[in-house]
Structure 1
Amino acid sequence: MLRSNFQVKHLTLTDNPYFLPLALIIQTIQLLFLLPATKKYLCFFSGYHSVLPVVFGKLFGKEVIIQCGGTDAVNLPEINYGNYRKKWLKMATIFSFKHCSLIVPVAKSLVKSNYTYDQSLTSRQGLLNLVPGLKTPIIVIHNGFDPSFWFDKGNEKRPFSFITVATGISKQNRALVKGIDLLLELAKSFPKYTFTIVGDEKFQSELPNITTIGSLPQEKIRSLFQETQFYLQLSSSEGFPNALAEGMLCGCIPIGSAVGEIPEIIGDSGFVLAKKEITELQKIFHRLPTTDLAKLRLAASNRIRNRFSYQKRKEKLLKLLA
């Protein structure tokens, strides 16, 4: 999106805490070297990686924009998720948000929300609840998706086939965040339905109707979406899940949890689970055979195409950065 109008230099940090000090030294050198040519800093998520760009922005009068994506606006210590459960990461996140020029969340729920999906988890979520005295301007820009790449071929799909994309779920807390516990319960309750989990080759299940696949290129994920009837997004926490929208564009009927932007993404084109209760989810599944699935398939694709287009996001971002 940005390279059509700007020269972009992409810098990464590390997700390994042992390498963090060295990574920050390298980042300092990179930022100094690129300083003369730098007009703006754009950070995806707030955290350790955004601290130095914010400092450089303050010192040298350069705009720093942080795209808030999810874990940087959520505090769910009960399932070991969110930046605010770790002392130093919390400090880095709050510092970055308070001293950057602009915050651009991908979902309204990341600004301020009352979490009600899982009654065992903390209810007050979002930037305005988690960052004391936050005065940085905030503009919400939803994610956008390219319908020329993600599209429904109109072919016959495998009946009552379900797919979800989730990385890192071989770790228990990540599996809980992504709702894999509910998916496993569904697979037990509906043995004639088939479930595919994409993203973590280390995750395994002994249930015969579950297929697990490791990371795949986008073209192969698209092919799976195009042959699968339903997309499951049963997460306990999300901002704006990309794979849900991509699956819907490919004609997958969505079934999702009432967290983050998921209800707004799905709308009337699928099913939303209001509370994390397996019995309520089973009720949704029992309704599927008597539902007009062809109508929902078309509605799902049209909803993303009309409401969350790649072009709309691109125009808003370019206008913001101009």
Structure 2
Amino acid sequence: MILYISPIPTAFIQRDIEMLSPTFRIVHLNFTANPYLLPFFFVIQFLQLMILLPFTKKYLCFFAGYHTIIPVFLGRLFNKEVIIECGGTDAMHLPKIDYGNYRKEWLKKATVYSFKNCSLILPVSHSLVKSTYTYDAESPRLQGLLHLIPDLKTEIQVVYNGFDDQFWTDDQRKKSPFSFVTVATGISKKNRALVKGIDLVLELAKVFPSYSFTIIGDENFQTTLPNVTVMQSLSQKKIREVYRVSQFYLQLSYSEGFPNALAEAMLCGCVPIGSDVGEIAKIIGETGFILPKKDFSLLHSLVSKLHQIDLEILRINAVLRVKENFNYTLRKEKLIAILK
């Protein structure tokens, strides 16, 4: 049995579980993202792990943090392999926007302890291993595990996210002209909105009132702009429908590891526009547009020229790029080989 441990349930964690369940017996345990509930969840998690210990072969954790302290401790104590999938916040330090595990003393200690003492680290992108951050000059340049934990000796193996191109498909319907969509959860919290670049999305909406913008993921987020539609978290099928009628996907994040929604939208024929952080530029390649720095004048110039571009060619190429480079089957095969 493999225990899959995560801080909160997410669509990409559920995808991993569905991917691995035909091959392994997976038991999924969620922790909490609420700091006030930490003592309670530490007790609950310890009891859960001790009860399941005789049946547990390996621990697989998404992100490092408070939820990985006990699994890593038990793994070392009872000689059980602990694998941590590094996803983003656990390999970034961006104090300007209050983002990353390394901004809080105890969360930093939990993260560093977990990465140093686990068996294997599986980042979803190379940028999370070691990178130079240039998107905003006011943030620390040296990012990634090897910069933030210089004495880290744990083995690291990058495994990209993979996407189901049988589900995320472009059905060739006519796109609504100059329609932009982005997916971002929790953005009713200011720092989360900054992480996801929602401030830039709203600036675009102000300057281009005839263009339409859709933000999916948090019905509590509010704006008075008439050309911005805010939607709650949707099912995968409903999100796919929005992608299929939207012409552009915006991924203007201040920080990202490997954004799932970006690749899924590209498979549905959205032309991507992304910030130069994490793996975004590699995902997009030559099929869309990259914002090199957080500078609205650069973004305005980019969007102003979209009407001059052959968008249908980019639409086709965006689909092909994800199919060829970030395949669901490839991630599945790599994860299964690692876990066997």
Query: Shorter-chain-normalised TM-score: which range?
Result: over 0.9
1:68 is aligned to: 86
Corresponding letter in the other structure for 1:26: I
Corresponding letter in the other structure for 1:6: F
Distance (whole Å) between structure 1 residues aligned to residue 301 and residue 33 of structure 2: 40
Distance (whole Å) between structure 2 residues aligned to residue 187 and residue 99 of structure 1: 46
1:65-95 deviations in Å (ceiling 9; x for gaps) = 0000000000011110000001110000000
Moved more, 12-21 or 247-256: 12-21
Superposition RMSD in Å: 0.6
1:147 is aligned to: 165
2:306 to 288, 296, 300: 288
Distance (whole Å) between structure 2 residues aligned to residue 4 and residue 251 of structure 1: 30
1:278 is aligned to: 296
2:144 to 126, 132, 148: 126
Distance (whole Å) between structure 2 residues aligned to residue 195 and residue 101 of structure 1: 44
Distance (whole Å) between structure 2 residues aligned to residue 292 and residue 119 of structure 1: 33
1:298 to 297, 309, 316: 316
**1:1-322 maps to which residues of 2 (within 5 A)?**
1-322=19-340
Q: How far off is 1:214 after superposition?
A: 0.9
**Which stretches in structure 1 are left out of the alignment for 5+ residues?**
none
Distance (whole Å) between structure 2 residues aligned to residue 3 and residue 197 of structure 1: 32
SS of the equivalent of 2:202 reads: helix
SS of the equivalent of 2:53 reads: helix
Distance (whole Å) between structure 1 residues aligned to residue 216 and residue 64 of structure 2: 27
Deviation beyond 3 Å, 4+ runs, structure 1? none
SS of the equivalent of 1:49 reads: helix
Give the fraction of aligned pairs with identical amino acids, expressed as a percent.
61
Q: What TM-score results when the alignment is normalised by the length of structure 2?
A: 0.94
Corresponding letter in the other structure for 1:77: P
Distance (whole Å) between structure 2 residues aligned to residue 237 and residue 250 of structure 1: 23
Distance (whole Å) between structure 2 residues aligned to residue 227 and residue 219 of structure 1: 13
How many residues align? The count is 322
Q: How far off is 1:308 after superposition?
A: 0.3
Corresponding letter in the other structure for 1:241: P
1:177-208 deviations in Å (ceiling 9; x for gaps) = 11011111111111110000000111111111
Corresponding letter in the other structure for 1:315: E
Distance (whole Å) between structure 2 residues aligned to residue 148 and residue 7 of structure 1: 25
